[in-house]
Amino acid sequence: MSSFRIVATTSLLYVLLVGGFSASYGQLTPTFYDDTCPFVIDIVGGIVADVLLTTDPRIAASLIRLHFHDCFVLGCDGSILLDNATGIVTEKDAFPNVNSVRGFDVVDRIKNALEFVCPRTVSCADILTIAAERSVYLSGGPAWEISLGRRDGTIANKTGANFELPAPFETLDRLKSKFKAKGLETSTDLVALSGAHTFGRSQCRNFIGRLYNFNGTGAPDPTLDPTYLKVLQKLCPQGGNGSVLANLDPTTPDFFDKNYFSNLQQQKGLFQSDQELFSTPGADTIAIVNSFSSSQRLFFKSFVKSMIKMGNISPLTGTDGEIRLNCRRVNGNGVGSNNGVYVSSI
């Protein structure tokens, strides 16, 4: 069992996980900024905490989602943060992201603070990684030691974002295929990382098909609890405002806990992709949902391991990529390139 050490910082108390989950991948290491920007985690965490506690209770879930959507496209290189520019078609306009992913202003605020204290040092990709971990911890979840040293990519891939990111209406087989393509396990990693839906919100348009015309049947998804179905139909009427928000977890929507899995057992998963983990007959994910529902400690332990794996999908290190001065655009003239090789996206 890992032990915890309480450390006082300039803004709040942090829990640092000692042992058990520490891992270095390639040139990534928890000590990467020890000499060049020793307070990087404090700065990122302090800003996330300030926004979370004063203006935006949704920001923690939004920041971890940014990290997830970044890593699943081109690896964890900050590509999701890039705006449209010469040679770059932004991933923000991809179907899974448009009018959906958020938190870019908070990332900008973090980057500005770090550029003031440690100019040209901390990558935007590492900012997303740290912000995701701090967001989980500040919402009641586990903390873990973060391997750092990622560099920022100079290209974006809208097409990849359209096809490689898991979608809320997908079957279990399709979800497994997408996780396998990223080198993640199709059972434990899939279920553990899906557990990030234990906090946050989603728009009605992302699940309304389940409420009225599931897979073209003209009827609701039979795996939805009837009482929960009525609640969602009242919130999201046919022909209503598709941008209305629903809690991903109807019990503790702003806390990181194991209730997501208990909800699945009660057929109260908001997305089809959530409920598939428990309601797909004979699926190997059912036993994992049951075990995480029974033990928050086990869920937290598995979640940390899976987050570390996901955070190390194809990072740029060494002299690859760059350290962006502005997370929204590449340095120089804004033309997308990677070691001199032009790559376009459509």
User: What residue ranges define each of the domains in the chain, with the CATH number in brackets?
Assistant: 39-200+248-312 (1.10.420.10)
Q: Which residue has the tokens 């073209």?
A: 216
**pLDDT of res. 26:** 54
In the chain, % of residues over pLDDT 90: 88
Cβ(155)–Cβ(88) below 8 Å: yes
**pLDDT of res. 20:** 34
- Say what the pTM is: 0.89
* Residue 69 appears among annotated catalytic residues: yes
User: Binning pLDDT at 50, 70 and 90, where does residue 333 land?
Assistant: low
Average per-residue pLDDT in the chain? 90
Query: Can you state the angle between helices 40-54 and 124-138, rounded to 10 degrees?
Result: 50
Residue 344 reports pLDDT greater than 60: no
| Binding-site sequence positions for substrate | 166
Within 13 A of 46's CA, how many CA atoms are on the CB side?
15
Helix (H) / strand (E) containing 69: helix 59-71
| Binding-site sequence positions for heme b | 197
pLDDT digits (tens, 9 = 90+) for 190-234: 999 999 999 999 999 999 999 999 999 999 999 999 999 999 999
**pLDDT of res. 27:** 83
Q: Where are the alpha helices (DSSP H) in 103-187?
A: 104-117, 124-138, 158-164, 172-181
Residue 16 reports pLDDT greater than 80: no
Catalytic residue of the set 58, 65, 67, 69: 69
